[in-house]
Structure 1
Amino acid sequence: MKTLTAQMASDGGPWRLYVVVYGESKWPSVWWEPSAVPTGAQRREALASLGYEVVPGAEWSWIEDSKEYGDDRTPVVLIAAVDVRERDGGAA
């Protein structure tokens, strides 16, 4: 089964979770209003609504970046990533 990467990012505004699908111009995504970091359960539910699930044994990894590449004086962007696969029945 094909493994893809799901990412979640925020620069202090809304959180966006999306599945990276190479060759597609629009990636499946879910947005949350600005709030605390979405919980693991919220992320699983969002992925399920898109037709995906976390690969068994995979864990979210977190990195931080600058809003403007290479400029650490700009706001921090938090980015999380995890390996996912299509759920039985395929993506929605």
Structure 2
Amino acid sequence: MEHSAQISNRGGRWRLYVVLMGVPVSQWPEHDFGPTDAVPTVAQRSRALAALGFVFTGGAEWEWTEYYETHRDDASPVRLLAAIQVCSLDGDQS
């Protein structure tokens, strides 16, 4: 089964998490890259996902989106969110 892995930055910390439908957000697997100005590299994201038990699906690429922190307020800070399709390393279908 495929899932969406997402990475976002808030307060100077990049956080990577895997969206598991039907599972409370508090139980989603996640990795915190700690305080950093740099966007974690694809290799760093791949290692973090592997540590969480996931791998990129074949041919998947990160897709970046920007959004306003305050909806419909173009003067509010812009946030970045990236997503990629992943699947479980162990082939679990859940």
Q: Which amino acid aligns with 1:19?
A: V
Q: Which amino acid aligns with 1:27?
A: W
Distance 1:57 1:64 in 2: 23
Match of 1:29 in 2: 30
Residue 40 of structure 2 is aligned to residue 60 of structure 1: no
Q: Which amino acid aligns with 2:30?
A: S
Across the two proteins, how many residue pairs are aligned to each other? 89
In proportion to residue count, which structure has more strand? Answer: 2
Structure 2 length as normaliser, TM-score?
Answer: 0.87
Q: Which amino acid aligns with 1:8?
A: I
Cα RMSD (Å) of the superposition?
A: 1.3
Q: CA deviation at 1:68?
A: 1.3
Match of 1:47 in 2: 49
| % same residue | 47
Match of 2:19 in 1: 20
Unpaired runs of 5+ residues, structure 1, are: none
Which of the numbers 81, 85, 88 marks the counterpart of 2:87? 85
Q: Detail structure 1 runs of 4+ shifted over 2 Å in the superposition.
A: none
Q: Which amino acid aligns with 1:6?
A: A
